[in-house]
Amino acid sequence: MKGSLRYRIILALFVGVLGLVYVLPSFVGKDSPLKNVLPADEISLGLDLKGGVHLTLGVDIPKAIEYNLNQLGQDIRSAAREEGIAVLKPAVRAGEKLDFTLLKSEQQKALDELLKQHYRVLKVDAREADADGKVRYTMEMTPEYRRDVAKLTVDQVLKTIRTRIDQFGVAEPDIRRQQDDRIQVQLPGLDDPQRAIDIIGRTAHLEFKLVDDAADLTKAEKGIIAPGRELAALKKLRADGTYGQQPIVLKKDAVLSGEYITDAHVSYDNFGQPYVSMTFNPRGARIFARVTGENVKKRLAIVLDGEVYSAPSIQDKIVGGRAQITGSFSDTEAADLALVLRSGALPAPVKVLEERSVGPSLGQESIDKGVTAAFAGFILVLGFMAVYYGFGGIVADLALVFNIVLIMAGLAGFGATLTLPGIAGIILTIGMAVDANVIIFERIREELRRGLTPRAAIDEGYSKATLTILDANVTTILAAVILYQFGTGPIRGFAVTLTLGILASMFTAIFVTRILFDMWAAKAKPGASLSI
């Protein structure tokens, strides 16, 4: 027994010290020298405690379908060209349909074979032959492929937003998918929601397009524009600091897109004006060098989300895979633009469906009330146990303090977030921990009334009560696991603290208190009575 007791004491002390090591960083000041030796992990507070921003975003799935169909149309045209089949430029029309025209009807069989072999994700909705020998195809996605595209789009949006938020520097963001292609974003501690929305919601679809300087702007503004051209607006900074727009005609087809960007960061010109410098991957660098080499002395427009930021003249072939976006940015605007370019474009636009800000004062009020409730309940429980069970009650009180330390250490060590329901979970586990001790103590009392010695009563009491405690707590843990799996936000916070609390209470109520009783029994004189 003595040897076993020694090892159990060592294990309990080890767990206790480990718990303190993980708890202390959350309570010592930032300037404390302990910060240099303790773990960096602290207890993270949720949105309901720390304040911040709650957003519900809706992903524009029809737009993603349109993008995907447009890309498929380009692929079909390229594949057909390689087979010697003439297909006129495909176009996406309303209703998620893809239209293109086969120039020679005698090639219809070859085109159908090509579509059957390589584009099974599309199905032919209609074929219409005209008098000129052309065949107009109308195609649409299969239902299975459309579902895949929708799912992959939301997954990609989720990943891109998470990358942007991580680079934005928000600690403990909660970003999760909801039903109906919606995404929930919670950003604790953020006090500038508009900037977060601007970064999250920016599609960041970057294109490089050649400028058609020969086009007649007057006619273009009246809607008279040559095929393959489009009228756009070049952002211009006015003398008063506001932005104006200057009409500009661009060639519709982009010569390069942002998918080849590997890095983007803020740089400064000789006048201290920030601009965004981009680096392309090897393939992008080759395309950029070819495009700039073939279009020296022409203007190349940089288009981001449909806005033309700049349209500089190409002075020489640009090798090395670097480009710049200039546009009289502020430091913050340039940093945010570089951030979204680094994280990549969203595969579809997102729309803010709901925006709520939780003020830090409300969060602090919640913390104060929660701590007050927990502290009051804690003191009442400690006092009752000490009065009602004597020595046994003091043992239970020590185990309860140990229990709270382990819960806090678990929250910090596992990176869990403490929410307001989480505080409720801690209060609940205080009661459950005491309940476990009450079960054990009542069993010991029964054995003492039967006339057993304190040593034997302790053994019998723990033996009979342990299985009951395990049964009750395991079922509660299963319920907590289900809550965590299917719950969201604060519900998960409750499930986490409940699970940590139950595990800690089983350790302290069964293992730690038994050590204290065994220590008492080892030191007790023959005939001594147990206060319980």
| DSSP code string of 2-64 | HHHHHHHHHHHHHHHHHHHHHHGGGTS-TT-GGGGTS-S--PEE-HHHH-EEEEEEEE-HHHH
| 23-71 confidence digits (pLDDT tens) | 888 877 667 777 777 777 777 777 777 778 888 899 999 888 988 888 8
- The predicted pLDDT at position 191 comes to 67
- The predicted pLDDT at position 250 comes to 92
Same fold, 61-146 and 204-328: yes
Query: Where do we find the tokens 């700049």?
Result: 310
CATH number of 61-146: 3.30.1360
Burial of 518 (0-12, 13-18, 19+ CB in 10 A): buried
Predicted TM-score (pTM) of this structure:
0.62
1-50+360-523: CATH homologous superfamily? Multidrug efflux transporter AcrB transmembrane domain (1.20.1640.10)
- The predicted pLDDT at position 367 comes to 67
Domain regions of the chain by residue span: 1-50+360-523, 61-146, 204-328
Distance CA 278, CA 224 (A): 35
Query: Where do we find the tokens 């469906």?
Result: 353
- The predicted pLDDT at position 490 comes to 67
Beta bridge partners of 280: 261
> Tens-of-pLDDT digits for all 532 residues of the chain?
555 888 899 999 999 999 888 888 887 766 777 777 777 777 777 777 777 888 889 999 988 898 888 888 888 988 888 888 888 878 888 778 899 888 888 888 898 898 888 888 889 888 888 878 888 999 999 999 999 999 989 988 888 888 888 777 776 677 888 877 889 888 877 767 788 888 888 888 888 899 998 888 888 888 888 887 889 988 876 666 677 788 899 988 888 888 788 888 888 887 788 888 888 888 888 888 898 889 888 998 988 888 888 888 888 888 888 888 876 677 887 888 888 888 778 888 888 888 887 765 555 666 677 778 778 878 888 888 889 888 888 999 999 889 889 988 888 888 777 777 788 888 888 888 888 888 999 999 998 888 888 888 998 889 888 888 888 888 888 888 888 877 766 677 788 888 888 889 889 988 999 999 989 888 888 777 888 8
- How many separate helices (H) and strands (E) can be counted in the chain? 15, 19
* Strand ordering across the sheet containing 256-257: 243-251, 229-237, 307-310, 300-304, 206-210, 256-257
* Coil, strand or helix at 301: strand
Residue 288 near residue 318 (C-beta atoms within 8 A): yes
| 90-120 confidence digits (pLDDT tens) | 888 877 889 988 888 888 889 889 888 888 8
Beta bridge partners of 234: 246, 308
341: which 2 tokens?
A: 């370019």
Q: In terms of residues, how long is the chain?
A: 532
Q: Regarding the domain delimited by 204-328, which CATH topology (the fold level of the hierarchy) does it fall under?
A: Gyrase A; domain 2 (3.30.1360)
Distance CA 345, CA 360 (A): 32
Phi, psi (rounded to 5 degrees) for 350:
-120, 150
- Greatest C-alpha distance within the chain: 114
Distance CA 371, CA 427 (A): 10
Residue 92 near residue 98 (C-beta atoms within 8 A): yes
Residue type, 418: L
* Coil, strand or helix at 454: helix
Distance CA 98, CA 121 (A): 12
